[in-house]
Amino acid sequence: MFWPIMKKMKKEAALGAIMVAYTMKKRLLIISGAIMLAIGFMGAIPFGSIVINDAEQQELDPTTQRPEPIFFGIISPLYAEMVFMAIGVIGFSLLVLGGAMHQEEESKQLRQKQQQQR
């Protein structure tokens, strides 16, 4: 079924397509979306406060106007905050998608019951 299409796709794209096909379960989408939303915003808050505090105290890098990297000079708090915010937004979209799919299924079942009663 998927095999002719998968031959033309890259391995990563094929794996993503298969995962999307099998993870369209409503509960899985809702649960994973809620977890990603929580991780995203719980991670963005501390890194965001570092960025705000450094900007307030004017401890920014003079050439880039960004906070100095933390954790042995490896992690930029600005980019870490952006990554966690992206994770939160993706989690929110998965949560909304799962909720919409769940509501659609419930309304479809309700319509079927109403048609059977007629």
Q: What digits encode the pLDDT tens for the residues 87-108?
A: 999 989 888 888 887 777 777 7
Q: Can you tell me the distance from the alpha carbon of 37 to that of 19, in angstroms, rounded to the nearest whole number?
A: 20
**Is 69 part of any domain?**
yes
**Is 101 part of any domain?**
yes
60 DSSP 8-state letter: B
pLDDT band at 110 (very low <50, low <70, confident <90, very high): confident
78-112 core/surface letters (b: 16 or more CB in 10 A; e: else): bebbebbbebbeebbebbeebeeeeeeeeeeeeee
> Looking up tokens 């059977």, which residue turns up?
116
**Is 2 part of any domain?**
no
**Is 95 part of any domain?**
yes
pLDDT given at position 84: 92
The distance in angstroms from the start CA to the end CA of the chain is 39
pLDDT given at position 5: 54
Domain ranges, residue 77: 39-118
**Is 11 part of any domain?**
no
Count of domains observed in the chain: 1
In terms of pTM, does the model score above 0.75? no
**Looking at residues 37-62, what average pLDDT do you find?**
86
Least confident of 3-12, 20-29, 72-81, 105-114: 3-12
